[in-house]
Each structure stands twice: as structure tokens, then as C-alpha cells.
Structure 1
Amino acid sequence: MAANGGTKAILAALFANAGIAVAKFVGFLITGSSSMLAESVHSVADTSNQGLLLLGQKTSLRKATKQHPFGFGRDRYFYSFIVALMLFTLGSAFALYEGIHKVQHPEELNSAIVAVVILVLAIALETYSFRTAIVESRKVKGDATWWGFIRQSRTPELPVVLLEDAGALFGLVFALMGVGLSVLTGEPIWDGIGTIMIGILLGVIAIILIIEMKSLLIGEGATAREHEIIVDELTGGRVERVIHIRTQYLGPDELLVAAKLALTPGLQTAEIASTIDEVEGRVRARVPAARLIYLEPDLDRGL
């Protein structure tokens, strides 16, 4: 569900941003607004980002090889990290540069009403994309807060699209404010200020995504709830306790579980094997992502 929902949200954002980018560039050529130019580059970056997310989903499905025995699931983390870098460089850095330049050298806007109309239409399209991301995210976020979902999700696409769409909506509002205040006050410097606000917003979002995607790329373990469930299912019956356990997500849908278990003394080899099989089945039934489970039987030495 998470993968399909992520794909649906990505495609909605892709088509929305592609159309918005064209409209914004036309608006910039007519008005000369720096806010429109910054938003145009922002939309182009977002469109490219959604393409990268789709590419990551595709390449992550490659079969495991001898060189990569655990497969390529982390491709989705890698491309999400690249998306965060692009948002920072193409979106934030360009907007800050253009905004500072326009504040230092203000230029009168031409046909500002064209920019307003385009921005209002862009807000409508971006709202549709954002709503799609919210609907799909609700299916997998459970009881977590939105901030908790962004921080704890092991599936990168939905948090990325959510933050991108939120940034796009606020960026459009800032652009609309910049253009509107420039017209109302007759001071084109407001257009530059709106552009700077867009740059700061994108920078903050990019830094959050860079931190989160870097953590996933390095390797994160099971969530606190998943860890609790796994330990509960590992114990009981012939398993006296879990001596130690390590978990790590090899991809959004594949969790590696390695644990040493203290078994009841005196078990025969067949009993040990059946106990391990039983425990693995219980864990997979409760945590489907736990596809790779390596369990080492041992005696409880009180360590």
C-alpha cells in the first residue's frame, strides 16, 4: 500500500508541477517578476525530483546480485537524498540569489495581473497535489503526528512529496504576496523580498529532508513499536529471552532482523530448528517487512 500510495502521490505532483512550471515561465516572461522566476525554477526542480523518485522506485526492484546480496532497496533512499540536494541547490540557492539581486536592484513589474492569475491557478493545482499526498500518507501513518510520520517513516517518497508540496503551496503564497504588495505599494522591492522568503522556506525544507534521507541511507533500525513487537514474538515457549537483537531497514519494505536467543536447555537439534521456524513465522506475521531473519540459538548464561 505504501509503495502504490507513494507512486500515486508522486504522479499527482509530477503532472501538477510540470503544468505549473510552464505557466510560471510564461508569467515571468510577461511580467519580469523575480518571484515568478524563482517559483518557475522551483517547479522545474520539483518536476525533476518526482522523476528521480520514480526512477528510484524502479531501480530498487532489481534482483539481488553477488555484489549486492541484499538487493537494491536503498536506491529509493539514495534518490530521495538527491531530491533533497536538488531542492536546496536549484530551489533555495537560486531563489535567494535572485531575491537579493532584486532587492538591491528593483525592477518594475509588467502586467502584474497575469502573474496573479497564474499564481492563483498554480495554488489550485498544487492544492490538489498536496491533498493527494495527504490522503495517501494517512493510509500508512497510523496514529503518528505528521511531524512524527516525516521523522519515523521508513518509506521516503511520501514524506518527500508532502514537504515538497507544502513548500510549493507556501512558496506560491509568498510569491503572490510579493507581487501583490509590489502592485499595491508601487515598490518593486517587495517582489524581491517575496523571492527571498521562498528561498528561505525551500532551504529549511531541504535541510530537513537531507537530514532524514541521510539517516535512512546510512541505515535505520525498526521503529520503537516494531522493535517491541519483534521482541515479544521472539520470546515465549522454548525461548527464554532475547539475549541481544539488531535490526536494520535494507529498503522501505525489507527489514533485516538478527538476534541471539536463549533457549531452554537440553533441546534436541530438531526441537531447536522447529523453535526457530516457529519464532520466525510469528515475527513475519506481525511485521511483514521482516523478510530477512537470522536467529542464533544459545543458552542463557546470565550475561
Structure 2
Amino acid sequence: MADQEHESRLTVLLAFGANLGIAVAKVAAALITGSASLAAEAAHSIADTFNEVLLFVGLRRSGRPADRRHPLGYGLERYIWTLLVAVAIFGMGALFAFYQGAETLLGRRGGEVDPLVGYLVLGVSAVLEGISWRQAFRQVRADARAEGLPLAAFIRRTDEPASISVLLEDTAALTGLAVAFAGLSLRHLTGSAVWDGIGSLLIGVLLTAVALVLGRINLHLLVGRQADPRLVADVRRRLAAAPEVEWVADILTLTVGTDRVLVCARLDFRDGLTSAGVEHATVRMARELRAAHEEIDEVFLEAVPRDDPELRARVIGRYGDRFRDPPGGPPGGPPGGGDRPGPGRP
């Protein structure tokens, strides 16, 4: 976890340095050439530079330890700052690109001078963005391999959005540079500003797509997302295998930060256990779960009767016909059959 945190900060800082230099160069080139595509890319890089500051603030603030007012820590704050990144990409980058493109297509921008400066800036920008992209891709790929997931599945499931944000930003930046180069070249070759305006609009569409993807990732994390289904399945298996447990009635997991998971389970303990036996069993099982999964931060285990009607109604209401009764079924018969997945299972 500490290594991943260090790697995330390195990725963000490298992206900040690259984007700051690129933004300055693009602004100068846009003013010299009058290119709408370059102006859109300049706004894009300014937004990315601002975004790295937001990501770094999120990394710092979310790492604060738990306290009385925030007993589960500040891990969720990281997702708020990354959500602001998505808003900034759209508000500062995409909308400006749409504006520049519309202005150019409507003929409200002046003529272009020699685009040589634009070509040079785009080339240098591509090199710097490539360095930042390589660092972000290397981290995301390493994290995906550590989780045993394909890259696309890891991006959908990750609870560490900082490196994903940088990777998506840099991917959009490299694509945007190619679009800006095409728009600038076609304007230079044909003498028509339409191509430049179209390039700016395409950059706006690209940035909007990135903002939506980042917003969706962080929205799910902020609303409250279940832990990795593989972790949930293993927790269920370990609890069900405990000699004191008759049946795992319910499992709730919640991602409360990067590599931080809250586990709550309701267990039907075997008849004949004393209260002291239940207490010792819950402490041991919680310790075993934390030892098996480093990301499990807190474990709450509750003793419940399997045939409690209110509990059954809540579990069935949450999981529907995915609910599975214990062998033999509770009094009154099984609601959904004994061969279906149980609560909390993926």
C-alpha cells in the first residue's frame, strides 16, 4: 500500500511538471499561429496542470489517519478531489475547445500566420506527454497485474483513481495532439480554417468523454461500492469454514478508501456455544480476515438467528432471488432454492 501511494505521487508530480511546461508552450504557440486547435490544446494542458494539483491534494488529505469525528478515516476524500478533476476537464478544457471550434467555423477568428511554431510545440508536447503517459501506464499495468485483472477490468474496478486519472488525461492529450496536428496541417495546406475548427470540436468531444469516464468511476466510489467480488467470495468462504459458524446469513462490504475495505457479516453460530465462545470466535475470525487481506481495515461480526423474519426480509430485499437458505432451509421453506448464490457473493 505504501509503495502504491509513493508511485501514485510520483505519477502525479511527473504529470504536473510535464503539463506545466506544455501549457506554457501551447499558449505561446496558439497566440503566434492563431490556431483554434492549438488554443483548445492549450486549454486542455492548463486544465491538466490544475488537475494534477487537485490530485496531489487528494492524495495528501485522504491519507490522514482516522480520528474521533472520522472513525473510518479520510479515504473517501480522494474520490471527491478526483471527481473535481473530471469537472475541471469538462469545464476548463472541453467547453473552451467547443467555443474555439465554433468561433473558427463561424469565421470570427483572424487568419493564421506561419504554423512552424505550432508544429514544433506539438512535437515537443508529444515527447513530454509520452514520458508522463509511460509512467502512468507502467503504474496502472503493474497494479492490474498485482490484482490479477486485465487492464480494462482493473480500470473499472480500481479504488485508486489518481493514476487512472493521469493515464486517461495523458491518453486524451496524446490523441488531442494528433488531432491538433491534423487540423493545423490541413488548414496550412488548404487555407481553410474549417479543418482547424473541426479539430477543436473533436478535442472537445474527446475531453468530454474522458470527463464522463472519470466522473462515473468516482461517482460509484463515492456512492459506496462493494469490495472486489473475489475478496467478498473469499471472506464468505473463510467465515463459512469456521468451526463455530453454522451459516453465513449476510455479508456487507464497503470500499472506504484506496486499499481500505469495511467488512460486516451476520453469522448464525452453532448451538451450544457459550457467550465467551462466540466472543473468542469473532475476535479470531476478524484477525484472520485482516491477516488474509491487507486491504480489510475494519471487521464487524454479528450473531443472528437464521430464521429471524426481519433479517430474512432485509437480505432478500437486497439480493432478491440470489439469496440462498442454509441446508434444509429455514422454517417455512426456502424463498429461492438451495442452489443459488448466497448474500454478498459476486
Same fold per superposition (TM over 0.5): yes
Q: 1:271: Cα distance to partner? A: 2.0
Query: For residues 271 and 4 of structure 1, what CA distance do their matches in structure 2 show?
Result: 42
Q: Deviation digits for residues 183-203 of structure 1, max 9, x if unmatched?
A: 122212211111111000000
1:130-185 per-residue CA deviation (whole Å, 9 max, x = no partner) reads 11011111221133233222211011112111111111110111101110111122
Cα separation, 2, equivalents of 1:216 and 1:300: 31
1:160 correspondence with 2:165: yes
Which residue of 274, 277, 297 corresponds with 2:283? 277
Q: Give the structure 2 partner of residue 268 of structure 1.
A: 274
Q: How far is 1:22 from its partner? A: 0.8
Q: Distance in 1 between matches of 2:247 and 2:142?
A: 34
Q: Do 2:141 and 2:151's aligned partners in 1 also have CA atoms closer than 8 Å? A: no
Report matched runs for 1:1-303 at 5 Å. Answer: 1-105=3-107, 107-142=110-145, 143-236=148-241, 237-301=243-307, 302-303=329-330
Q: TM-score, normalised by structure 1?
A: 0.95
The code of the aligned residue for 2:178 comes to V
Rounded to whole Å, the distance in 2 between the matches of 1:80 and 1:110 is 39
The structure, 1 or 2, with the larger RCO (C-alpha pairs under 8 Å, 6+ apart) is 1
User: What's the counterpart of residue 336 of structure 2?
Assistant: none
Paired residue type of 1:29: L
**Contact 2:14–2:132 (Cα < 8 Å) also in 1:** yes
Shift of 1:299: 4.1
CA–CA distance in structure 2, aligned partners of residues 123 and 101 of structure 1:
26
- How far apart in 1 are the matches of 2:234 and 2:258? 18
Residue aligned with 1:235, SS: helix
Compute the displacement of 1:240 (Å). Answer: 2.5
Please list the CA deviations of residues 74-122 of structure 1 after superposition, one character each: whole Å capped at 9, or x if unmatched: 1100000000001011111110111111111154321201101110110
Off by >6 Å, runs of 4+ in structure 1? none
| Residues 243-295 of structure 1 deviation map (CA, whole Å, 9 limit, x = unaligned) | 00111111112211111012221112332222112211221122211111100
CA distance in 1, matches of 2:11, 2:65: 25
**Greater CA deviation, 283-292 or 195-204?**
283-292
SS in 2 for 1:217: helix
Q: How far has the Cα of 1:43 moved from its partner? A: 0.5
Percentage of pairs with the same residue? 35
Contact map agreement 1:5 1:137 (CA 8 A) in 2? no
> 1:32: Cα distance to partner?
1.3
144-153 vs 254-263, greater mean Cα deviation? 144-153
Mapped partners of 2:277, 2:141: distance in 1: 43
Tell me if structure 2 keeps the 8 A contact 1:17–1:47: yes
Consecutive unaligned residues in structure 2, runs of 5 or more? 308-328, 331-346
For 1:206 and 1:36, the matched residues in 2 are separated by 20
In 2, the alpha carbon distance for the partners of 1:47 and 1:228 equals 41
Letter in 2 for 1:134: F
* Stretch deviating more after TM superposition (59-68 or 72-81): 59-68
Larger displacement relative to structure 2 (66-75 or 204-213):
66-75
CA distance in 2 between partners of 1:16 and 1:181 (Å): 27
Across the aligned residues of Structure 1 and Structure 2, the Cα RMSD in angstroms comes to: 1.5
Greater Cα radius of gyration, structure 1 or 2: 2
Secondary structure, counterpart of 1:247 in structure 2 = strand
Give the secondary-structure state (helix, strand or coil) at the position aligned to 1:291.
strand
TM-score, scaled relative to structure 2: 0.84
Query: 2:31 is matched by which residue type in structure 1?
Result: L
Aligned residues of 1:260 and 1:297 also touching (Cα < 8 A): yes
Deviation of 1:11 (Å) = 1.2
